Structure 1
């Protein structure tokens, strides 16, 4: 366990907002483990916000992307705007017919996805690497009230009936472009939200404001199942 004063080679774009939080090491990066709340697991089950921006992610695009990823051992969604959880805890989002976004797993601190980015080489096929670590921030909205929070900010219906597990939406929330994926952690409802890294502070604040009605709070990864 470390404190906010420790130095890491990479920091989340939301680093300055986590004052006083307990930090743990995530590879060469940091991640909030706890804010010191009395029962953050209960908050996570109700309405909570987590910063996953230092967890690895990467994209691939092109007509050969699917065969490339399949050969690397990934299970791929059948259609655009769908997502599949992988055996290692990672996620694959299909954003279009030929574009995929891979989200890393906390179980291996995102090491598999970091390795994919390091090892990719252009081999003449239509399969192109899309670095996403520096372009997108990654937030996790957990709990039973997640879709009601998003209803305040987003015009797309993200309720359970219209937007079930494995659904992906490329839309706007709080007037900025976002990717939203419904990917529960066990029984815990979770909406993964990716936005432009430069807009991370703004979206974090907008979400916290929308969460107030449900007593929502930021929590660390120790609150997750």
Structure 2
């Protein structure tokens, strides 16, 4: 087992889990959702199962041909996304709001061991060579459905993982157990500011 003090890496770059469930997130679905989101100033991924980071730090993942998941930015503590959800009004467009604050928990698994941790829980290869920044996987991990989004960089792995909110404590426990081999640990959200 490696010693964290000998790696020269900080906890976020080594192996860390941060609970981002308090940050706003929202979804949109419909044949005109792309038009709606672009009118609202979002840059969208061109293909399903990809994601892009916005200029303000928020993140848009395209889950299917017509479904988008938007994760709030740390910079404004998700206020832009909370405002988007609050201001949405049903209209003639085929664009439907999918509230995600209460349905999905949000975790960030980061560090050089993130893919190795996930390999213990998930059958999808999440190593950077197979799961590059911007990739999205809708899969199963620790026997629950998850959405995994690689929004890190080549120099810093950061997997955003969304799971069913009632399963949060179970899934966090499974991740922390898988992280133990790598001396990974849970950190508070303040380390990201």
Deviations 1:126-145 (A, max 9, x none): 00000000000000001010
Q: For residues 63 and 72 of structure 1, what CA distance do their matches in structure 2 show?
A: 16
Match of 1:68 among 8, 27, 36: 36
Q: For residues 171 and 186 of structure 1, what CA distance do their matches in structure 2 show?
A: 23
Per the alignment, residue 30 of structure 1 pairs with: none
Per the alignment, residue 46 of structure 2 pairs with: 78
Q: For residues 186 and 84 of structure 2, what CA distance do their matches in structure 1 show?
A: 30
Match of 2:103 among 132, 135, 149: 135
| Counterpart secondary structure, 2:180 | helix
Per the alignment, residue 192 of structure 2 pairs with: 224
Deviations 1:183-214 (A, max 9, x none): 01694310000000000000000000000110
Per the alignment, residue 167 of structure 1 pairs with: 135
Per the alignment, residue 194 of structure 1 pairs with: 162
How many angstroms does 1:123 deviate by? 1.1
Structure 1 gap segments, 5+ residues each: 1-40
Per the alignment, residue 122 of structure 1 pairs with: 90
Q: For residues 97 and 211 of structure 1, what CA distance do their matches in structure 2 show?
A: 34
Matched, 1:207 2:175: yes
Q: For residues 222 and 123 of structure 1, what CA distance do their matches in structure 2 show?
A: 39
How many angstroms does 1:222 deviate by? 3.6
With normalisation by structure 1, the TM-score equals 0.80
How many angstroms does 1:221 deviate by? 3.0
With normalisation by structure 2, the TM-score equals 0.93
Q: For residues 110 and 21 of structure 2, what CA distance do their matches in structure 1 show?
A: 15
Matched, 1:51 2:19: yes
RMSD: 1.3
The 5-angstrom pairing of residues 93-132 of structure 1 reads: 93-132=61-100
Runs of 4+ residues over 6 Å off in structure 1: none
Q: For residues 128 and 154 of structure 2, what CA distance do their matches in structure 1 show?
A: 15
Structure 2 gap segments, 5+ residues each: 1-8
Q: For residues 180 and 215 of structure 1, what CA distance do their matches in structure 2 show?
A: 22
